[in-house]
Amino acid sequence: MSTYSLAIHGGAGTILRTQMTPEKEAAYKAGLARAVAAGEDVLRQDGTAMDAVTAAVCALEDEPLFNAGRGAVFTTEGAQEMDACVMDGRDRSAGAVAGIFGPRNPVRVARAVMERTPHVLLIGPMALQIARDAGLPFEERDYFFTQARWDALQETMEMRRKGQESDDPARRHG
Amino acid sequence: TVGAVARDRAGNLAAATSTGGMTAKLPGRVGDTPLPGAGTFAENATCAVSGTGHGEVFIRYTAGSEIAARMRFLGQSLDEAAQHVVMKDLHDHDGSGGVIAIAHDGSISMPFNCEGMYRGSVREGEAPQVAIYRD
């Protein structure tokens, strides 16, 4: 019998200390702690690594501070398109979806692709159909909207119009 | 982008990653997240990896599977392999970001080449940890 291990991330980039308030830092750390706890709860009860990473990522997708699920960024057309993937180390089985909008937890749709189809990566209407067939919850547009992400899109588009978009690596980060 | 990697008590590894992409991306743009071997990878014999960062570069350098290949063919430890991919392969080619990774032995590596990465980890019998900056 092995011991369990779990690691999570909520994104990276130019997370400037000068822009981080104690309140924001505490909120981010609380969100991270909830995701670690969600994954560890599974492992502590002899659950599988696949169930643990799914639970941890669902917790992060439900947290509007992070760029996935609720809180996802916007495209140039003001839409949200989400991508997700799971991979199982036992046999390299994998499932993924790209460019979807509607399912509350895209990672669960990726897992449904792995478990319910012979394919690895699905896009478009069939990806959403797989989610419906699996009975996964969907949400309306308002659920995914966050003012901070909308403001970030407007700021970026304005900088592009003025030819002022910076080379800040954070702008290229997921 | 968010992600998780785990090893369970049976010794099995898994990885998951989810993202909204990048702000003001072109509609239809897909990054490394949903591409096994780039932003997400798991193989019991080596490691499980989830990435976050400049997706196009993670794709070109197949970041996740490259870490596993270094362990498999060069005999590197997880941390040696992950550090090389993040701090050299990605960093030297304008690929900012980082990865979280767990090896078959349960060891954890979380290198990043930018100012911070929101991250957390726990190992059985130890207290959970969360961090944003290097300290």
Question: Could you read off the pLDDT of A38-50 as tens digits, one per residue?
Answer: 999 999 999 999 9
- Per-residue pLDDT at A164: 80
In the predicted model, is pLDDT for residue A165 greater than 90? no
> What is the tens place of the pLDDT at every residue in B89-101?
999 999 999 999 9
| ipTM over the 0.90 cut-off | yes
Render chain A in DSSP notation, one character per residue: -PPPEEEEEEEEE---GGG--HHHHHHHHHHHHHHHHHHHHHHHTT--HHHHHHHHHHHHHT-TTSSSSTT---BTTS---EEEEEEETTTTEEEEEEEE-SBS-HHHHHHHHHHHSS-SEEEHHHHHHHHHHTT--B--HHHH--HHHHHHHHHHHHHHHTT-----GGGGB-
Query: Which candidate, A102, A157, A139, places its Cα nearest to that of A124?
Result: A102
Residues 78-117, chain A, touching B (beta carbon < 8 A)? 79-90, 92, 94, 96-99, 105-107, 110-111
* Cβ-defined contacts of B106-109 (< 8 Å, 24+): B106/A2, B106/A3, B106/A4, B106/A5, B106/B7, B107/A5, B107/B77, B107/B78, B107/B79, B108/A5, B108/A7, B108/B78, B109/B78, B109/B79, B109/B82, B109/B83
Q: pLDDT > 90: what percent of chain A?
A: 87
The rounded distance, in Å, linking the Cα atoms of A136 and B5 is: 23
> What is the tens place of the pLDDT at every residue in A51-63?
999 999 999 999 9
- Per-residue pLDDT at A12: 87
> What is the tens place of the pLDDT at every residue in B13-64?
999 999 999 999 999 999 999 999 999 999 999 999 999 999 999 999 999 9
- Per-residue pLDDT at A172: 64
Nearest Cα residue in chain A from B25? A75
- Per-residue pLDDT at B75: 98
Average pLDDT over residues A117-133: 98
CA angle A167, A70, A87 (to 5 degrees): 85
How much is the mean pLDDT over chain A? 94
Q: pLDDT > 90: what percent of chain B?
A: 98
- Per-residue pLDDT at A168: 64
Residues 7-46, chain B, touching A (beta carbon < 8 A)? 7-36, 39-44
Average pLDDT over residues A115-121: 98
In the predicted model, is pLDDT for residue A173 greater than 90? no
Nearest Cα residue in chain A from B58? A173
Number of A–B residue contacts, CB under 8 Å:
351
B135 band by pLDDT with thresholds 50, 70 and 90: confident
